[in-house]
């Protein structure tokens, strides 16, 4: 196979039907941004929209804007937009709180259902390498409900689904390895074993096509600030299948989840439908910013939507993997994300036999932003260099230039400079 060259990438970009979507973003010229899986890029529309909400809707409209500017409808309006990206029906998904908090709500609801339908089931199954906040929230709930959280190694959950398992809690795309699960197949297997499923879509929404309804999943949550470009700390979303939503309450019974919040009655009555998953007053400025971010993903709909974004995402990550193999073979770098595209989300993770943290810091200093995730050494997990491929704003030349820069950092030994070994508070 002949080696891939930069002009090949220029040609691919020229033929890319999604190329214009990059214009939606305000990106620094001197940066190649491969961390949209941690914090999405800034849409050009966001600053003006937030400014209008502040000066017009808040400054002039004051409290009237809850009605006149439609503030009160924003959690469901933005929810309905996200629903289009994850295969949910209208009014099945709301935007509220954080991913961690929404997990608390849906896991509580799932445990309440299990308590009625199958009280002998006392186990929540998840993976040791799931994102820690998911595990921490599940630990707390398991303790409160007198149940147990059992952690299995990645990919082993289905073999643990015996008749003592109440809930299977999985993240569809693993934040470390980038491994993607077949939601429909895993959900069907869980249901056949009598367990409910909770899917964390933090690295799926806006990254891979998701069909919650088609998969007959039970509950889902997801993140607003990753591939949905909602901005730092953007609110998250929550979905429950229609067969469950009115059956149980969630425990964070704030007034916005009440059937009639503005009746101001002393007794809690959950709203019918997903509104019961709301809690307190929505964070309006963040919600307005999130809507701009979600709109950048919906802008792909005329070009084939999530299916087209998925094709480009895989083209970019395939190219990255190929270039890593072609250009970095002299260095102790290994691709840990599945080579099989059907099992890969929108990121690629590498291991480096050496100080991977310093390599990533040197790479960032050279304008290529990925990130570093330390492995659990007590379990022999490797440290990872993570690279997210956001098809909305990345070009094939960015992938080429990023690998070239990584090669320079490794060939020159730049990463060995002492300044790259110092750790910041956030890695």
Catalytic residue among 131, 175, 393, 400: 131
Catalytic residue among 226, 276, 344, 373: 226
131 a catalytic residue: yes
Size of the site for ligand PLP (CB under 6 A): 13
Of 85-93, 97-105, 290-298, 343-351: span binding ligand PLP (CB under 6 A): 97-105
Catalytic residue among 81, 276, 386, 395: 386
Residue 223 near ligand PLP by CB under 6 A: yes
Residue 175 near ligand PLP by CB under 6 A: yes
Which residues in the 26-65 window bind ligand PLP by CB under 6 A?
A: none
Return d(Cα 206, Cα 294) in angstroms, integer.
Answer: 8
Question: Measured from the CB atom, is 100 or 154 closer to ligand PLP?
Answer: 100
Return d(Cα 244, Cα 206) in angstroms, integer.
Answer: 25
Alpha helices in 268-331 (DSSP H): 284-298, 305-327
Question: Measured from the CB atom, is 12 or 236 closer to ligand PLP?
Answer: 236
The full length of the chain comes to: 427
Q: Which of 202, 279, 359, 394 binds ligand PLP (CB under 6 A)?
A: 202
Residue 99 near ligand PLP by CB under 6 A: yes
Question: Measured from the CB atom, is 65 or 204 closer to ligand PLP?
Answer: 204
What Cα–Cα distance (Å) separates residue 306 from each residue in 82, 120, 228, 314, 326?
12, 40, 12, 12, 30
Q: Which of 57, 92, 127, 134 binds ligand PLP (CB under 6 A)?
A: 134
**Strands 236-240 and 219-222, bridge-based pairing:** antiparallel
Q: How far is the CB of 322 from ligand PLP (least distance, A)?
A: 27
DSSP 8-state class, residue 159: G
Residue 371 near ligand PLP by CB under 6 A: no
200 a catalytic residue: yes
Q: How far is the CB of 379 from ligand PLP (least distance, A)?
A: 19
Which residues in the 228-267 window bind ligand PLP by CB under 6 A?
A: 236
Q: Which of 65, 76, 80, 98 binds ligand PLP (CB under 6 A)?
A: 98
**Tokens at 316, concatenated:** 């970019």
Does residue 335 come out as left (phi exceeding 0), alpha (psi in the -120 to 50 range) or beta?
beta
What are φ and ψ of residue 265, in 5° steps?
-85, 155
- For 19-48, b/e burial (b = at least 16 CB within 10 A) is bebbebbeeeeeebbbbbbbbbbbbebbee
Q: Which residues pair with 196 in a beta bridge?
A: 167
- Radius of gyration over every alpha carbon of the chain, rounded to an integer in angstroms: 22
**Tokens at 107, concatenated:** 């896991």
Catalytic residue among 35, 97, 134, 200: 200
226 a catalytic residue: yes
Residue 203 near ligand PLP by CB under 6 A: yes
The residues, ordered by sequence, that sit 6+ positions from 259 with a Cβ below 8 Å of its Cβ are 269, 270, 271, 272
Residue 409 near ligand PLP by CB under 6 A: no
Question: Measured from the CB atom, is 57 or 383 closer to ligand PLP?
Answer: 383
Contact present, 277 and 94 (Cβ < 8 Å): yes
What Cα–Cα distance (Å) separates residue 338 from each residue in 101, 105, 341?
31, 32, 7
Of 127-135, 178-186, 282-290, 349-357: span binding ligand PLP (CB under 6 A): 127-135
Q: Where in the sequence numbering do the catalytic residues fall?
A: 131, 200, 225-226, 386
> Where do contacts with ligand PLP occur on this chain (CB under 6 A)?
98-100, 131, 133-134, 171, 175, 200, 202-203, 223, 236
């Amino acid at each position: 196979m002949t080696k891939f060259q930069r002009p090949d990438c220029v040609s691919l970009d020229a033929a890319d039907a999604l190329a214009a979507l990059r214009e939606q973003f305000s990106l620094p010229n001197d940066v190649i941004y491969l961390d949209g899986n941690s914090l999405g890029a800034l849409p050009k529309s966001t600053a003006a929209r937030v400014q209008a909400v502040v000066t017009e809707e808040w400054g002039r409209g004051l409290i009237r804007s809850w009605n006149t500017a439609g503030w009160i409808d924003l959690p469901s309006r933005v929810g309905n937009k996200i629903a289009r990206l994850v295969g949910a029906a209208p009014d099945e998904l709301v935007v509220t709180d954080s991913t961690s908090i929404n997990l608390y709500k849906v896991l509580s609801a799932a445990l309440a259902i299990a308590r009625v339908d199958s009280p002998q089931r006392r186990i929540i199954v998840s993976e040791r390498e799931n994102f820690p906040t998911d595990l921490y929230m599940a630990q707390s709930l398991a303790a409160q409900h007198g149940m147990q959280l059992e952690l299995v190694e990645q990919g082993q959950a289905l073999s643990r689904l015996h008749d003592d398992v109440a809930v299977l809690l999985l993240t569809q795309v693993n934040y470390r390895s980038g491994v993607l699960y077949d939601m429909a197949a895993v959900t069907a297997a869980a249901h056949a074993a009598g367990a409910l499923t909770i899917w964390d879509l933090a690295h799926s929404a806006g990254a891979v096509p998701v069909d919650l309804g088609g998969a007959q999943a039970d509950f889902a949550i997801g993140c607003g600030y990753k591939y949905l470009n909602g901005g730092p700390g953007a609110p998250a979303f929550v979905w429950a299948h229609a067969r469950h939503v009115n059956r149980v309450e969630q425990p964070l019974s704030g007034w916005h989840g009440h059937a009639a919040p503005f009746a101001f009655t002393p007794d809690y009555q959950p709203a019918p439908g997903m509104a019961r998953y709301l809690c307190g007053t929505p964070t309006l400025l963040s919600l307005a910013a999130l809507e701009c971010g979600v709109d950048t993903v919906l802008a792909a709909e005329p070009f084939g939507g999530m299916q087209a974004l998925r094709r480009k995402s895989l083209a970019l990550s395939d190219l990255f993997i190929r270039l890593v193999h072609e250009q970095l073979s002299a260095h102790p770098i290994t691709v840990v994300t599945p080579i099989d595209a059907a099992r890969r989300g929108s990121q690629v993770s590498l291991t480096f036999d050496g100080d991977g943290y310093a390599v990533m810091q040197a790479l960032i200093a050279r304008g290529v932003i990925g990130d570093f995730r330390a492995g659990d050494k007590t379990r022999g997990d490797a440290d990872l260099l993570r690279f997210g491929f956001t098809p909305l704003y990345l070009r094939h030349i960015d992938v080429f230039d990023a690998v070239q820069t990584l090669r320079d950092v490794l060939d020159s030994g730049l990463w060995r400079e002492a300044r790259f070994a110092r750790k910041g508070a956030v890695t």
